[in-house]
């Protein structure tokens, strides 16, 4: 299960808020995995997650934001609440187009294996922030995050996986 907790969550003042966001995100996934017809309940959980994060001014992980529809706040699960298509541009770049079934909103992602998010780059980290030693739980979360991103990249590159 994907976790939303920031790797630095032990130092974060809103640890309970991150845990609540994590719970709502996992609850939405569980609802859709058990009963795919119950999209409204999952949408309610995602909407609540979005409003809590906005009210407390908490930044969510980009991998989480990519799985939420900006228009209707539904959880985008390929084959259940979203369709995934592979496209190529005139410049020979491959794109992944994720379309929400509920509202028709589309998200387009570039398929570049060498792409690294700004959040993951070392220059994005504050220089004056002291880096605490990582405990085994934090290392486990980071390993889980990299495994999930590898699976998502593999799934986005191979369109036959969703048929």
List the chain domain ranges. 15-122
Q: What is the pTM of this model?
A: 0.65
Query: Do 71 and 107 meet the contact criterion of CB atoms below 8 Å apart?
Result: no
Provide the 8-state DSSP code for 92.
S
CA 149, CA 62: separation in Å to the nearest integer? 11
Cα angle at 106 between 50 and 60, to 5 degrees? 25
Provide the 8-state DSSP code for 134.
P
Read off the pLDDT of residues 11-65 as tens digits, 9 standing for 90 and up: 567 889 999 999 999 999 999 999 999 999 999 999 999 999 999 999 888 889 9
Dihedral of the alpha carbons of 43, 45, 46, 51, in degrees to the nearest 10? 120
């Amino acid at each position: 299960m994907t976790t939303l907790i920031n790797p630095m969550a032990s130092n974060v003042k809103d640890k309970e808020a991150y845990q609540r966001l994590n719970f709502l995100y996992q609850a939405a996934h569980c609802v859709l995995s058990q009963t795919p017809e119950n999209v409204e309940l999952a949408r309610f959980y995602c909407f609540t997650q979005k409003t809590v994060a906005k009210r407390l001014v908490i930044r969510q992980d980009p991998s989480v934001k990519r799985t939420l529809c900006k228009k209707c706040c539904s959880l985008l699960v390929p084959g259940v609440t979203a369709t995934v298509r592979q496209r190529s541009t005139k410049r020979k770049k491959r794109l992944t187009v994720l379309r929400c079934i509920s509202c028709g909103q589309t998200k387009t992602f570039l398929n570049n294996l060498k792409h690294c998010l700004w959040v993951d780059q070392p220059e994005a980290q504050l220089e004056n922030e002291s880096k605490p030693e990582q405990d085994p739980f934090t290392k486990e979360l980071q390993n889980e995050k990299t495994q999930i991103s590898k699976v998502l990249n593999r799934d986005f590159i191979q369109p036959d996986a969703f048929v």
